[in-house]
Amino acid sequence: MSTPENTAPPTLEEFLALAPEGNGALNDKMGVEVTEFSPERMVATMPVEGNTQPYGLLHGGASVVLAETLGSLGSALHAYPDRIAVGVDINATHHRAATSGTVTGVATPLHLGRSMAAWQIEITDDQGRRVCTSRITCALIPAQRD
């Protein structure tokens, strides 16, 4: 992480307060709740209800939103305070359907560099079964100051 030595990383609340839209309208709409926020691991939950496709299954795009939220937050925390993270690539493999309950995404870094960060996100259902595996790469660019 690029924060100066002896400086603790910001809390989730402090970090989101720096963003123009806080948690983000899409995350609010989809019910994404970040439960763990650290440079080494990000965790969030999302309800299946309200995030389904016409057959009543968790929408694959909803899984990708959860994954991108976690990977982008992790990348942004790593880049803080001098740089910001912008997504350049994301992929997802959908392993099984979820029809109810909550899914949980756990993101761990694959690479944390000066100009790029990559994270793997594993999404599981309430029974701990893997629903989706995703990988995101973010470019870390200079923060623009006014």
Which amino acids are annotated catalytic?
68
For the sheet containing 102-112, what is the strand order?
33-37, 42-47, 102-112, 116-124, 130-142, 83-94
CA distances from 103 to 90, 136, 137 (A): 19, 18, 22
> Who's near 77: CB < 8 A, 6+ residues apart?
1, 9, 10, 15, 37, 38, 39, 42
> Who's near 116: CB < 8 A, 6+ residues apart?
137, 138, 139, 140
